A and B are shown apart, each in its own frame.
Chain A
Amino acid sequence: MSEQNPDRCAFEFSTVVLEEPGNDQRAVITPVYRTSIYKLTDVSDPFGKGYVYSRYGNPNVNGLEEKLARLEQGQHGYCFASGMAAITTFLLSLLGQGDHIICEKIVYGGTHHFLTRNLPEDFGVETTFVDLTDPNNLRTALRDNTKLLYLESPTNPTLEIVDITELSRIAHEHGLYVVIDNTFASPYLQNPIAFGADGVIHSMTKYIGGHSNEIGGCIVLKDDGPTIKGKPLSQRVREYQRILGGVMSPDTAWQMNQSIKTLPLRMAAHCQNALAVAQFLNGHPAVSGVIYPGLPSHPQHELAKKQMPKGFGGMVTAELHGGRPAVLDFLNRLPHPFSAAVSLGGVESLAFPAQSLYPLERQEDLENRGVTGSMVRLSIGIEAIGDLTRVLDETLKPLVPA
């Protein structure tokens, strides 16, 4: 897997998503193996190979893990009960007391909370948050004990794009492991391993699941990775997955495998609709700013074109002239087909105040990281585009400044 070729992957993607790994039956669709235990044929080495206990392995979960690894061009895949289970299991597998992380200045609220509170307080691992849209900031934040570079691109909720290739190059010069939360892009739009990252994390609840009906997460590793306490990272992640126990259920794995089959179609529709919404909002008198990587006005638009060759995703962040009061008024009145709800990536459109995604953070800290009170985060679904722009226009009308 050392020779990565994004184009080659793009060609096969829509075919690979439909495969039924882990299915040795005659049924076209893999059965749901809703079993906790497996009858052993040889008890002399019960944990050697094969299935023993579903926290250790399950045909639905393992099949899904293989598929995700292929889609992200990695060698190893691991599924979890949530995106946070994936993130925390990964961090605890890789890091130990005294280690240091460099992380993007703004990341998903749950990740931010774990990095700022739990890791330093409970495990003695510190994180420095820096603006990585300028890769040079990575060098200045480096310490002797830095082990990990943690990225998101596009970032949540500010939709900034970071240069995965350049950051990975610098990080590798200093022996850092590079992991990226690829949730906002999805494996269809962006394969970070092809650009130099070592590991990829997803909240599968979002675009991979895509129907707002399952919670799940995954890790994909490019290869066996560094050796930590005598074991390759790939083995440690498997061990921590089993010991920490945040595993995905067979039902969820089956459902996710079904949902992945339409990922390319859904992403194409999300991208098309989101671009149209971004263009529509861009000229709207109630809107003071629109952030969307597909707009030429986006500061990293050229980089986005390189890293996300098939489209710029379904997330649009808009700033309203009236600030936070306008945002709250807008969301309280925004009708179906939008719902005011957290999460993202489903077929139905959602909207939420950007600052409210971080209930534990101080408003001042959020403003410093670029998350303003006037921001509303939109997850654009795959509805008919005319229906979306119509209700946005109607809801924004009273907010146009006199």
Chain B
Amino acid sequence: MKFNTRAIHSHQEPDPVTGAVITPIYQTSTFVQEDAGVHKGYDYSRSGNPTRTVLEGVLAALEGGRHGFCFASGLGALTTLCMALFKPGDHLVVGDDVYGGTFRFLTKVYEKYGVTVDFVDMTDLANIKKAIRPETKMIYLETPTNPLLKLVDIDGAVSIAKEHNIPTCVDNTFASPYLQNPFDFGVDIILHSTTKYIGGHSDVVGGALILRDDTHRDAIKFHQNSIGATPDPFASWLTLRGVKTLGIRMETHSKNALHLARFLEAHAGVQDVIYPGLPSHPQHALAQKQMKNGYGGMITLRIKGGEAEARKFLKSVKYFALAESLGGVESLIEHPALMTHLSVDRAVREQLGITDNLVRLSVGIEDVEDLQADLENALKAVNSKALA
């Protein structure tokens, strides 16, 4: 089965009891047992729930992995992964501009438990090599990164990890399984915030871990249940609904974003545009290799001016809602320095390039003409104020 068929049918055979074409919402906390300890695979909905099982199966199928595990949020997936695999004294090599929440957990929470982390610029693979120590237990990366849309050569990172016999984990949230399958490059674990493209309708919060093989299955399963950051059945069901249109949504997100990136790049009010689909992106060739079906719906741009101009821009758009998160059908706009990456120290932000005139767009599936007109009007508003 190809991608769009898998999204709709994998693990989603009609209900054997009633014939229901759509997976039921098993909104139950507990399951009756035939005898003490004898049941049909489900005893309590934190340990396992039939609606969640279907979602876990279809996500594994979309990434080409063997096992899927779902969580109440993307961070629930991350924290469970860390607690399942690492212990005090371990060391991780992590990309230097990972999602703010990931950065906050690893620096402000996890370091108290004796795990150390080096954040490195992974666009240069030599930085990964240099950071590895005998106690390094994982290479953890995002590509494209958030919010600077830098790419990491997954193939190259995995080669380094293999030399040291350590696993690689990719947060594949920005690309989605439709655009990029890290397992193709030998990655061991894929993490998703399913809140974003996979759910796609901005109406559910969730996360997932997908495993390539059996190596970490028991550890993740044990910790998923022990830590308890599991999604409720209705959240699993809403995510399943979203998955069915993932392919057609990603096609439109990518098409709209490429169109707007070209438009913004040519606009006099814009200082620079970062989008992996533009030839001006320093890793455009790598994007062509790693992202087989398009370059995603995220665009980062710096408008001419500083924080005041950026704020004016945010206020002047009509269809782009000022909100965190991304990947929904509706377009969103945000200011990383003031919003998603506020938890990152200013000095670190500036070193990374998260400047005060940096704006991140999550391009939705609206008519692209409407979106372009909206951005054009907002840039005009910024400009007229600058002149006044």
Contact = CB atoms under 8 A, between A and B. Distances in A.
Interface of A: 11-15, 18, 28-29, 211-213, 258, 261-262, 264-266, 268-269, 336-337, 339, 341, 346-348, 350, 381-384, 386-388
B9 A382 contact: no
Q: Which of B5, B241, B323, B364 has the most CB of A within 10 A?
A: B5
Contact of A29 (B203, B241, B319, B370): B203
A381 B22 CA distance: 14
A274 B213 CA distance: 38
Interface residues of B, number: 36
A13 B367 contact: yes
A139 B134 CA distance: 89
A265 B241 contact: no
Given A18-B330, A211-B244, A348-B8, 19 more contacts: A11-B369, A14-B365, A28-B202, A28-B328, A212-B21, A261-B330, A262-B245, A262-B248, A265-B249, A265-B251, A266-B245, A341-B21, A348-B9, A382-B245, A383-B2, A384-B1, A384-B5, A387-B2, A388-B5
Given A28-B202, A258-B201, A258-B203, A265 B248 contact: yes
Contacts of A28: 202, 321, 323, 328, 330, 332
10 contacts: A11-B369, A11-B370, A18-B365, A28-B332, A262-B245, A262-B249, A265-B249, A337-B1, A348-B21, A382-B245
A12 B245 CA distance: 21
A384 B365 contact: no
B367 A15 contact: yes
Contacts of A265: 245, 248-249, 251-252, 365
B201 A261 contact: yes
A215 to B, nearest CB: 12
B123 interface: no
Contacts of A388: 5
Contacts of A266: 245, 248
Contacts of A14: 365-367, 370
A347 B244 contact: yes
Given A339-B21, A381-B8, A15 B370 contact: yes
Contact of A337 (B8, B19, B201, B319): B8
Contacts of B245: 262, 265-266, 347, 382
Q: Which of A13, A213, A266 has the most CB of B within 10 A?
A: A213
Contacts of B19: 341
Contacts, number: 100
B283 interface: no
Contacts of A268: 248
A29 B366 contact: no
A347 B200 CA distance: 16
B70 interface: no
B4 interface: yes
Given A12-B367, A262-B245, A265-B245, A212 B8 contact: no
Contacts of A347: 8, 244-245
B321 A337 contact: no
Interface of B: 1-5, 8-9, 13-14, 19, 21-22, 201-203, 241, 244-245, 247-249, 251-252, 319, 321, 323, 328-330, 332, 364-367, 369-370
Contact of A211 (B3, B4, B22): B22
A228 B187 CA distance: 69
Contact of B364 (A18, A211, A341, A387): A18
A337 B1 CA distance: 9
A18 B21 contact: no
B5 A213 contact: no
A381 B248 CA distance: 12
Contacts of B370: 11-12, 14-15
Contacts of A381: 8
A383 B21 contact: no
Contacts of B367: 11-15
A276 B325 CA distance: 37
Contacts of A387: 1-2, 5
B366 A15 contact: yes
B241 A383 contact: no
Contacts of A211: 22, 241, 244
The 10 closest A-B pairs by CB, nearest first: A384-B2, A383-B5, A387-B5, A14-B367, A15-B366, A15-B370, A265-B248, A261-B329, A384-B4, A384-B5
B319 A269 contact: no
A269 B248 contact: yes
A19 to B, nearest CB: 9
Contacts of B369: 11
Nearest to A29: B203
B7 to A, nearest CB: 8
A214 B290 CA distance: 38
A336 B4 contact: no
A262 B1 contact: no
Contacts of A341: 14, 19, 21
A296 to B, nearest CB: 27
Nearest to A32: B203
A383 B202 CA distance: 23
A383 B4 contact: yes
Contacts of B13: 336
Contacts of B202: 28-29
Nearest to B368: A14
Nearest to A210: B245
Contacts of B329: 18, 261-262
Contact of A212 (B2, B4, B9, B22): B22
Nearest to A383: B5
A351 B247 CA distance: 23
Contacts of B332: 28
B365 A262 contact: yes
Contact of B5 (A258, A337, A350): A337
B140 to A, nearest CB: 29
Contacts of B364: 18
Contacts of B21: 212, 339, 341, 346, 348, 350
Given A18-B329, A28-B323, A348-B8, A339 B203 contact: no
Nearest to B4: A384
Contacts of A348: 8-9, 21, 244
A373 to B, nearest CB: 24
A82 B328 CA distance: 28
B375 to A, nearest CB: 14
A208 to B, nearest CB: 14
A384 B244 contact: no
Q: Which of B330, B332, B364 has the most CB of A within 10 A?
A: B330
A64 B19 CA distance: 30
A268 B329 CA distance: 16
Contacts of B252: 265
Contacts of A29: 201-203
B290 to A, nearest CB: 22
Contacts of B365: 14, 18, 261-262, 264-265
A388 B9 CA distance: 12
Residue of B2, B3, B245, B247 with most partner-chain A CB within 10 A: B245
A270 to B, nearest CB: 10
